[in-house]
Amino acid sequence: MFSAVNIENIRVWVLRHQTKARFLMVGGFNTMLGLSLFPLLYWILIPCGLHYLEIWFVSQTICICTAFLTNKFWVFRTSGNYKQEFVKFASFHLTILLVNFMALPLLVNLFEINPVIAQTIFALCVIVSSYFWYSQITFKKRQTSNGG
């Protein structure tokens, strides 16, 4: 049975870690979007003659814009600073895109891994580093001084 002390401890813990909990929920959504959008577009557009890297670029562009908006408004709940935050957010993802752009052909051509599986492996690696970047750089709350 839960006691009042246990319930209070749980409430305090949830309040203390609510940003991380929201990050996990939004991250789950964005991960599912990213992991499903590339395969969906791949299977739809490969017969149209598009290269898997072109399809990858389209899916990544959609996913990055969605991830920015969901993290800004639902996870870190910042207001204003759209341009500044997007530049920071995009710089992280541009770096990831460049690494991904080099890694995906290596995984596909050198290791003969299916493009969908290779992209899934890479996406899982990105998840680990994104919380730190978002919380410490992109959406970090500014310290305000009282002048005194």
pLDDT score, position 36? 94
Overall average pLDDT of the 69-98 stretch: 91
In a domain? residue 147: no
Between 87 and 144, name the one with better pLDDT.
Answer: 87
Q: Which of 16-20, 91-95, 139-143 has the lowest mean pLDDT?
A: 139-143
Q: Identity (one letter) of the amino acid at 14?
A: V
pLDDT single digits (tens) 93-102: 899 889 988 9
Domain annotation covers residue 39 = yes
- Residue 111: helix, strand or coil by DSSP? coil
Span 134-148, average pLDDT: 70
In a domain, residue 28? The reply is yes
Compute the average pLDDT of residues 46-65.
Answer: 93
The per-residue pLDDT for 3 is 66
How many domains, in total, are found in the chain? Answer: 1
Q: What secondary structure letter does DSSP report for 142? A: P
| Token pair of 2 as six digits | 């839960």
The pLDDT of residue 147 is 45
Question: 22, 75 in Cβ contact below 8 A?
Answer: yes
* Cα 77 versus chain centre, distance: 16
Classify residue 34: in a domain, yes or no: yes
Task: Print burial letters for 54-80: b (CB count within 10 Å at least 16), e (below 16).
Answer: ebbeebbeebbebbbebbbeebbebee
Q: Is residue 143 part of a domain?
A: no
């730190």: which residue's tokens?
132
Residue range of the domain that includes 49:
4-138
**Which of residues 31 and 4 earns the better pLDDT score?**
31
Please check whether residue 144 lies inside any domain of the structure. Answer: no
Cβ atoms of residues 55 and 41 within 8 Å: yes
DSSP state of 47: G
CA distance 94 to 146: 36
Q: Distance between CA atoms of 105 and 101, rounded to whole angstroms?
A: 7
Residue 148 belongs to a domain: no
Average pLDDT in the chain: 86
Task: Measure Cα distances from 136 to 77, 89, 131 in Å.
Answer: 14, 11, 8
Assigned domain for 91 exists: yes
pLDDT in tens, 101-120: 899 999 999 999 999 899 88
pLDDT of 40:
96
